[in-house]
Structure formats: structure tokens, C-alpha cells
Amino acid sequence: MSFAAIGLGSNLGNRLEYIQGAISMVGNLPATTIVSRSSIMETEPVGGPKQGWFLNGAMVIETAISPQDLMRSLLSIEKALRRERVVKNGPRTIDLDILLYDNKIIREIGLQVPHPRLAEREFVLEPLKEIAPNWVHPVLGKTIREIADSYQERQMDDFLRTTASFRKQLAARAKRMAAHLKAVKARAGGSRGKSF
């Protein structure tokens, strides 16, 4: 038996119903047991066209199904839940991804394990951190907790840099405006001093 972490997302229709349906269908796969499920979080879409917010979560299963057959099963579940692939990264009733499968590294057409963007997506990291914080990413050699915490630190650093830059811009703009007002007042004062 193997362990697999699966990411779930939905931003069309009754999002929670689609996610709950997907969880149930994954749990009903042959030789598969749900070990744990994360909380469901609402997240802003990343990439793709303008679209509604997502509900996201993650689950860990124990299974005898191979990674390739598991991926095929997840695609079948997506189809059963009316997912349509019209636009890349577009809205979807359900999105199911294999995030991790034991400590395997798989690079095949149609199957990338660990998921190639796992470490760059908060909506994947946070639910996974909740249920599998000590799972070691086989490529990065770090636990999910370490990867998630590092991501949060980078986000905070980016926010602080952006804030500092914005403050500098505001200060420079205020300085220019003050200089402009001073020049306008000086011109106005000069005009009042003339007699006609």
C-alpha cells in the first residue's frame, strides 16, 4: 500500500458540493482508504482568465492503485463531476491533482509527481500542511511545513519590500507637491506686490 496526497479545488456551481462529491468518489476507489482531510479554504484564483474564487482543500489516501492508474481515476471523477477543459486554467467544477505519492518522483506526459507547482501555491501548501506537515518533498528535501513556512516568509518579505517602495514613492511625490505649492505661492506673492 502507498500514500498519496491529493489537492482539490472548485470555483463553479455549488463548489462545496463538488468537493464533497469528489472526496466521496475518491474514497470509493478500489483498495483505497481516506486517511485524512484538510479544512476547506476559499482562495483567490491564480493565473488564467478572470474567474470566481475557489474552494480548496487536500486529502491523504492510502491506496494500492499505481500513480498512473490513480491519475486516470481522478480524471474520470472530474469528468463525472462535469469538468470541462475549455480554457487553460479556466473555471472548473472540480480539479483533482496528485500532489505527492510516497516519495516517488515521476516525470511523464500527463503525470508530474510531486506536483510541479506545489511549493508555489499557498492554496495547496496550507491545506497540505494541516494534514501532512512532516511529509518530505522528495525533490526539495524539505517537509511540507518547512516549504509552507518558507513560502509565507517570502510573501511577507515581498509585501514589506512593496510597502517600503510605495512609501518612498509617496514621500517623493509629497516632496514634489510641496515644492510645486511653494513655487505657486511665491509666484502668487510676487503678483500681489505689483501695482497697476
Number of domains in the chain: 1
For the cut 50, the answer to whether the pLDDT of residue 196 exceeds it is: no
In a domain, 158, yes or no: no
Q: Would residue 97 show up in a list of annotated catalytic residues for this protein?
A: yes
User: Which residue is catalytic, options 15, 69, 72, 92?
Assistant: 92
Identify whether 124 is part of a domain: yes
**Strands 54-63 and 106-108: what pairing?**
unpaired
Q: Is 195 contained in some domain?
A: no
Domain holding 97: CATH number? 3.30.70.560
Told to judge if 92 belongs to the known catalytic residues of this protein, a careful annotator would answer yes
Q: H/E element holding 4?
A: strand 2-10
Pick the catalytic residue from 37, 69, 72, 83: 83
In a domain, 153, yes or no: no
- 114, 100 in Cβ contact below 8 A? yes
In a domain, 16, yes or no: yes
Q: Is 95 a catalytic residue?
A: yes
Q: Which domain holds residue 56?
A: 2-143
- List, for residues 140-154, the tens digit of each pLDDT value: 999 999 999 988 776
**Given 37, 72, 82, 95, the catalytic residue:** 95
Residues 117, 99: Cα–Cα separation, whole Å: 9
190 domain-assigned: no
Is 97 within 8 Å of 6 (Cβ atoms)?
yes
Over residues 61-108, the pLDDT tens digits come to 999 999 999 999 999 999 999 888 778 877 899 999 999 999 999 999
Is residue 173 domain-resident? Answer: no
DSSP letter at 136?
Answer: B
- Helix residue ranges per DSSP H, 28-143: 67-80, 122-131
Give tens-digit pLDDT for 58-73: 999 999 999 999 999 9
Question: 97, 117, 145, 157: which is the annotated catalytic residue?
Answer: 97
First-residue to last-residue Cα distance in the chain: 99
CB–CB of 60/132 below 8 Å? Answer: yes
